[in-house]
């Protein structure tokens, strides 16, 4: 609350004035604004570690198996570390459909279940 000061005929009057309500932003665990920041950092990290540009990871359309693999890993990590929906994750990667994200998540889980080469 703040005070408003007015003067009239040499008399000072103070009255309280309500502040306008601040806009509310609904933020979930790591979803919404925080989730997007975390997701962008995950994408940058995967891009840097693989030598692929962020633009190629986010590009719509089909790309090489190497890009697809890194993109799938990034989608998996975003899904695990944020509350972003599958649709929101797909949007980060060139507007891909949520079913594409599901397929990527399954692909990563399948990779994890395969025995390491040389075992």
More confident of the two residues 33 and 56: 56
pLDDT tens digits, 4-49: 556 666 666 656 555 444 443 333 444 455 788 899 999 999 999 9
CATH code assigned at 84: 1.10.1750.10
48 located within any domain: yes
13 located within any domain: no
Task: Domain count for the chain, please give it.
Answer: 1
pLDDT tens digits, 86-104: 999 999 999 999 999 999 9
80 located within any domain: yes
Query: What pTM was computed for the model?
Result: 0.69
12 located within any domain: no
9 located within any domain: no
Tell me the residue range of the domain where 49 lies. 32-110
Percent of the chain as helix, strand, coil, to the nearest 5: 55, 10, 35
In Å, how far are 73, 80, 112, 114 from 117, measured between CA atoms?
A: 19, 26, 12, 9
CB 5 within 8 A of CB 12: yes
Residue length of the chain: 119
């Amino acid at each position: 609350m703040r005070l408003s000061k007015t003067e009239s005929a040499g008399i000072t009057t103070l009255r309280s004035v309500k502040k306008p309500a601040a806009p509310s932003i609904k933020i979930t665990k790591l979803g919404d604004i925080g989730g997007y920041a975390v997701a962008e950092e995950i994408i940058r990290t995967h891009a840097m570690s693989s030598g692929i540009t962020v633009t190629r990871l986010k590009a719509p359309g089909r790309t090489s198996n190497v890009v697809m693999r890194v993109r799938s890993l990034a989608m998996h990590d975003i899904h695990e570390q944020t509350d972003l929906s599958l649709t929101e994750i797909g949007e980060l990667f060139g507007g891909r459909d949520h079913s594409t994200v599901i397929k990527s998540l399954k692909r990563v889980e399948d990779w994890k279940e395969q025995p390491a080469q040389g075992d």
